[in-house]
Amino acid sequence: MNLSNCSGLLTGAGSGIGRALALALSAKGARLILTDRNLEGLRETREMAGGGNHLLIVEGDVTQADDRRKLRQVAETEFKRLDLLINNAGVIAVMPHGEIGDEMLERQVAVNLVAPMALVRDLLPLLISSRPSRVVNIGSMFGDIAFPLFAAYSATKFGVRGFSDALRRELAPDGVGVTYCAPRATKTPASKQFEHLVGPFAMKFDSPETVAAQIVGAIESDARSVYPMGPERLFVLVQRLFPFLVDGSLIGQFKRAKL
């Protein structure tokens, strides 16, 4: 996909990976609708990207039908088409599964899984009319390798991966491509919740800018998926072929984390 003058919508653009994506896409010449619940964060993102009429900000919650309807109206009015939809908004809770409350369970499922599914459905006529166009779903390495303390979050990201696979096959005849992105742990405000697990779980953190560059490269090459460079790719293969090996490793690391 050629990003110059591309018309796109990016969720979760007020911080973290979303902000880095907004800056990277803007530098490529894309015209963007940036949305987030954090209006101040959106304003900061737009200012960091140099402002300008090519960046529109829309405060909203993608789990709400009225806010999704507003996003579609802005895309129709301002762009009259939609070449690119990036489902990036997400929430995470890191804790023993026996301690998580209903509200946080429902919030993770609503933001991480249901909202992307609903937003694709709501914007599909615009995407099809702009073909070739592309949907980009931001998943996680936790959507391939499920860690203790991340059970609900991992479940939503496994769901995003499955949704992406099915959607890719369904929309191919309509000229709409689908890219699934699985970044590893990324240094964002949300990652502060599990900084104490970096040592026990031998985690590696990427910067939002590194992740954004990988995602933008995948969009430009119309890639099916993008995974981080490094041993994680091998771990994904081991998880699929020999899951018991991953069980033993993660259970041992979890035990050490509890000491």
Q: Which residues are designated catalytic?
A: 153
Among 146, 91, 85, 92, which Cα is nearest to 116's? Answer: 85
Residue type, 57: I
Identify the three-state secondary structure at position 135: strand
Terminal-to-terminal C-alpha distance of the chain: 49
3-class SS of residue 147 = coil
- Closest among 153, 160, 157 to 105, alpha carbons compared: 153
What is the Cα–Cα distance from 105 to 244, expressed in whole angstroms?
27
Question: What does residue 229 show for φ and ψ, rounded to 5 degrees?
Answer: -75, 140
**What is the DSSP secondary structure assignment for residue 112, as one 8-state letter?**
I
Contacts of 237 (CB under 8 A, 6+ apart): none
